[in-house]
Amino acid sequence: MTGPTDAGRGGEQIAVRHGLFGVHGSGDTSGYGGLVEAITLPGNSTRPFGGYFDELADELAAGLAGIPEPNTVTYDDAVEKVVIFADEMTLHVRPDKLRAVALTLRNRETLRFELCLGVNGVHYPEEADRELHAVYPLASITHNRRVRLEVAVPDAHPHVPTLTDIYPTNDWHERETYDFFGIVFDGHRSLTRIEMPDDWEGHPQRKDYPLGGVPVEYKGTRVAPPDRRRSYS
């Protein structure tokens, strides 16, 4: 079901990466130290989206407009952009409109996205004021359809409203995303670490988190943590 506006290849450039993995001062011996690559994010897709995606957008717009006043939300106010890529639809939603969009997708009979498959964190340190993203894959069992929601918040104020009362299975997923990325899900009943110890400092899946590690002993040989090993010049 390839749509006519598969987006992403000519999207917004947010930075330039130097070297194979963007690592500096490592004594890179891979031969890729001179590689220069643009870091881009998918651009906005235009209609027609293809497949059921146009119908989904129309039904979402109608559902949001039908919310009783004074809480009525317009589609344009809620959705920043739509990305159609690899036969998948991602709705980039403003954080303060996330709950309204999720409720509409779940409750409207023509949509019925009853299942949320969790929430994933993503860190884009180069994207100013939008460094942290929360991504929600949704599935409609009734209509056998899928859609993805994505919200972006600044590192300086990483707050996203909880969806645990709308999708209860997100409870532990939100805790894990908070634990690893530092996104704060406002309204969560017990937003505590779930993998790392309670007194752990930092969020280890962020790209600015130090490589770290602990020394390992193997048959009498002591191996230093990755960020303390020798580099090759």
pLDDT tens digits, one per residue of 72-112: 899 999 999 999 999 999 999 999 999 999 999 999 999 99
Given this model, what pLDDT does residue 25 score? Answer: 62
Residues of the chain with pLDDT > 70, as a percent, come to: 83
Single-letter code of the amino acid located at 194: I
Asked whether residue 24 carries a pLDDT value surpassing 80, the answer given is no
**Burial class, 182, CB count within 10 angstroms (exposed 0-12 / middle 13-18 / buried 19+):** middle
Q: 43-228 in CATH: which number? A: 3.30.460.80
Asked whether residue 152 carries a pLDDT value surpassing 50, the answer given is yes
Single-letter code of the amino acid located at 214: V
Q: Which of 11-15, 64-68, 155-159, 176-180 has the lowest mean pLDDT?
A: 11-15
Query: DSSP secondary-structure letter at 169?
Result: T
Phi, psi angles (nearest 5°) of residue 216: -125, 135
Q: Which of 18-27, 72-81, 190-199 has the lowest mean pLDDT?
A: 18-27
Cβ distance 156 to 184 under 8 Å? no
pLDDT band at 2 (very low <50, low <70, confident <90, very high): very low
Query: In which element (H, E) is residue 149 found?
Result: strand 145-153
Query: What is the arithmetic mean of pLDDT over 31-55?
Result: 87
| CA geometry: angle 165, 107, 192, nearest 5 deg | 15
Given this model, what pLDDT does residue 36 score? Answer: 86
Question: pTM for this structure?
Answer: 0.83
Cα–Cα dist 88/78, whole Å: 19
Query: What is the arithmetic mean of pLDDT over 30-53?
Result: 86
Q: For residue 111, give the nearest of 144, 80, 137, 81 by alpha carbon.
A: 144
Asked whether residue 32 carries a pLDDT value surpassing 80, the answer given is no
